[in-house]
């Protein structure tokens, strides 16, 4: 594991964007994934800036989103699709080769999971997976107790996720399930970058990185990843 401790959120965002850019192969088509949420906002902005400045070439890169709230789509402020479109895809003056944004409003969610798996298996494995960590240690919507061997799936939101989620939305939503890439595909990524910021993440980051590998803290599986970068600010690393 490569642990990179940054002074503050801005430095964390810059470092993560730089490591993400370096994780994109130059001489072949590639597949990458970024998370939604508050933590990646700065990283995504930096990354888009690098693309637009010609410092990173994404013309041979496919993008796949990590997860989505069941029932929400790109027009719902705070959804993952909304994040992906407004914070990343629409900011790029040079687009990805293609982007697959998970449809949380799909009529048949089994088909949506199948399509996501097919996409990752056709164009993958992921060259790069950037991840945030939830207050319960989730990665995407791989909630506490999740099976480490799952591919894409639909999962009930944990009580922790339900209590945290209000911060993303300006409207009330009654959300009970999420759809997510599974840990099986995430663990096959050639490079994983876990980002974390703020004192409120210190304890769960400690459990994820220093505690036992246990499904109760899904992010602990990353201890087994051969090419993991943890990029976090001082506050988030204060319990390590």
Supply the residues annotated as catalytic: 67, 136, 138, 143
140's CB contacts (< 8 A; 6+ apart) are 35, 66, 67, 131, 178, 180, 181, 186
Please name every residue paired with 179 in a beta bridge, in sequence order, or none if there are none: 68, 154
Q: Which ranges of 74-148 would DSSP assign to H, the alpha helix?
A: 80-83, 109-123
Find the shortest distance in angstroms from Cβ 114 to ligand PGA. Answer: 24
Q: Of 94 and 200, which CB lies nearer to ligand PGA in the complex structure?
A: 200
Helix, strand, or coil (residue 78): coil
At 107 the three-state DSSP class reads: coil
Q: CA nearest 71: which of 184, 181, 172?
A: 172
Residue 74 in the binding site for ligand PGA (CB under 6 A): no
37 binds ligand PGA (CB under 6 A): yes
Residue length of the chain: 240
Give the DSSP letter string of 151-196.
-SEEEEPPHHHHHHGGGG-SS-----EEEE--HHHHHT-SEEEEEE
Q: Taking CB under 6 A as the rule, does residue 218 contact ligand PGA?
A: no
Q: Which is nearer to ligand PGA, 35 or 74 (CB)?
A: 35
> Cβ 96 to ligand PGA, closest distance in Å?
22
Q: Which of 35, 104, 124, 218 binds ligand PGA (CB under 6 A)?
A: 35
Among 14, 30, 33, 39, which residue interacts with ligand PGA (rule: CB under 6 A)? 39
Give bridge partners of residue 228 from the DSSP assignment.
192
Closer of 89 and 157 to ligand PGA (Cβ): 157
Q: Which is nearer to ligand PGA, 23 or 35 (CB)?
A: 35
Closest CA to 205 of 191, 195, 215, 190: 195
| Tokens describing residue 204 | 């769960």
Query: Measured from the CB of residue 15, what is the shortest distance to ligand PGA in angstroms?
Result: 16
Position 42 contacts ligand PGA (CB under 6 A): no
Helix, strand or coil, per DSSP, at residue 127: coil
Binding status of residue 134 toward ligand PGA by CB under 6 A: yes
Only segment of 8-16, 30-38, 51-59, 180-188 that touches ligand PGA (CB under 6 A): 30-38
Contact positions with ligand PGA (CB under 6 A) in 113-132: 132
Interaction site with ligand PGA (CB under 6 A)? 35, 37-39, 132-134, 138
């Amino acid at each position: 594991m490569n642990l990179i401790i940054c002074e503050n959120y801005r430095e964390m965002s810059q470092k993560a964007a730089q490591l993400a850019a370096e994780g994109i192969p130059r001489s072949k088509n590639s597949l990458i994934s970024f998370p939604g949420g508050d933590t990646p906002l700065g990283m995504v902005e930096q990354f888009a800036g690098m693309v637009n400045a010609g410092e990173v070439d994404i013309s041979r890169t496919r993008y796949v989103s990590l997860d989505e709230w069941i029932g929400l789509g790109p027009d719902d402020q705070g959804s993952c699709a909304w994040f992906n479109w407004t914070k990343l895809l629409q900011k790029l003056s040079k687009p990805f080769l293609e982007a697959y944004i998970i449809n949380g409003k799909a009529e048949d969610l089994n088909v949506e999971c199948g399509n996501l798996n097919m996409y990752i298996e056709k164009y993958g494995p992921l060259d790069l997976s950037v991840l945030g960590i939830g207050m319960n240690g989730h990665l995407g919507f791989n909630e506490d107790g999740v099976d480490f061997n799952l591919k894409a799936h639909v999962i009930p939101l944990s009580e922790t996720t339900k209590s945290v989620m209000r911060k993303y939305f300006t409207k009330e939503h009654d959300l009970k399930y999420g759809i997510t890439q599974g840990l099986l595909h995430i663990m096959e990524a050639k490079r994983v970058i876990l980002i974390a910021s703020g004192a409120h993440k210190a304890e769960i980051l400690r459990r994820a990185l220093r505690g036992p590998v246990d499904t109760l803290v899904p992010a602990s599986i990353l201890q087994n990843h051969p090419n993991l970068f943890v990029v976090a600010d001082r506050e988030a690393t204060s319990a390590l």
